[in-house]
Amino acid sequence: MQTNHLYRQYQQQGYLVLENFNTVAACDALMQRGEILANAYNFDGHPSVFQTTNQEATSTDYFLDSGSNISFFFEKDAFDAAGKLKTDPFHSMNKIGHALHDLDPLFDAFSRSPQMKELAAALGLDNYVIIQSMLILKHARVGGVVDIHQDATFLYTEPGSCIGFWFALEDATIANGCLWAKPGGHHTNLRTWFRRKAGGGAETIVLDKEPFSMEGMIPLEVKKGSCVVLHGLLPHCSMPNTSGRSRQAYAIHCIDRTAHYPEANWLRRELSSLKGF
């Protein structure tokens, strides 16, 4: 790894694309594990199952509780009115998260691979911990749009320190909904903070009213095995998957353990117990 060059490029662009970062076999093994977890999950009483009362509050609570376990998030409309899935659980899900990297041995090894240790060192992340992980399924024809956002909205620290690693488990193309981002777009302010409300539930606080725009955004089409590094302030998004092929990705997010991590952040972990790479 050309460490100086990588670090400079990351600072200038706000993202990096590293091809052939993970082997095809490692990507396949992770996807297989995700499918096993999904299909073994007992979703009786899951908040995504249609409920007559309090659906939104129950879904929010399920999300807020997911930081320290392996939770399952279904696609909108995955269940019919009788509470039955329209297809198998795996193909009904949007994502799985948010502590896969700490609770599942295969996800742990993938998140802390030798090449990941090397990359973290190249980017100067010695004090960083992995705080969140997600398996994003983006199934064929089902995976929806992810609106423009900054990852630091969900992992707010003072000073800002959020950095994401997005691993393509399959080829990501415009047709199956690859990431889009603007080179250098991270030289901007954090727009919003998604946090817990004092009385329960969650809210989004506006920090800077400047609207997001697609201007200058380019598609990050990458091959299976690639790693995309994303600065926490870099606005990015992805389009719906209109193709017949899924676009699975695994993402981890890291923060500096020496930065201030407000209590109000949605994700609550005991920071001192979290591990780096």
Per-residue contact flags (x/-) with Fe ion for residues 101 to 140, judged by CB under 5 A: ----------------------------------------
> Least Å distance between CB 85 and Fe ion?
27
Whichever of 38 and 148 has its CB closer to Fe ion, that residue is 148
Residue with Cβ nearer Fe ion (27 or 220):
220
d(C-alpha 196, C-alpha 187), whole Å: 27
Residue 49 or 131: the one with the smaller Cβ distance to Fe ion is 131
Least spacing, CB of residue 236 vs Fe ion, in Å = 6
User: Residue 10 is inside which H or E element, if any?
Assistant: helix 3-13
Closest separation in Å from C-beta 172 to Fe ion: 14
- Of 271, 169, 226, 262, the closest CA to residue 18 belongs to 226
Please give the sequence-ordered ranges of beta strands (E in DSSP) within the chain, or none if there are none.
15-18, 70-74, 93-98, 128-136, 146-149, 163-168, 179-181, 192-196, 202-206, 218-220, 227-231, 236-238, 249-256
Picking from 245, 253, 178, the residue whose alpha carbon sits closest to that of residue 217 is: 178
Point out which span in 12-20, 146-154, 258-266, 267-275 binds Fe ion (CB under 5 A). Answer: 146-154
Q: Is residue 151 close enough to count as binding Fe ion by CB under 5 A?
A: yes
Number of residues that bind Fe ion (CB under 5 A): 1
Q: Are 102 and 276 in contact (CB under 8 A)?
A: no
- Min CB(233)–Fe ion separation in Å: 11
Residues that bind Fe ion (CB under 5 A): 151
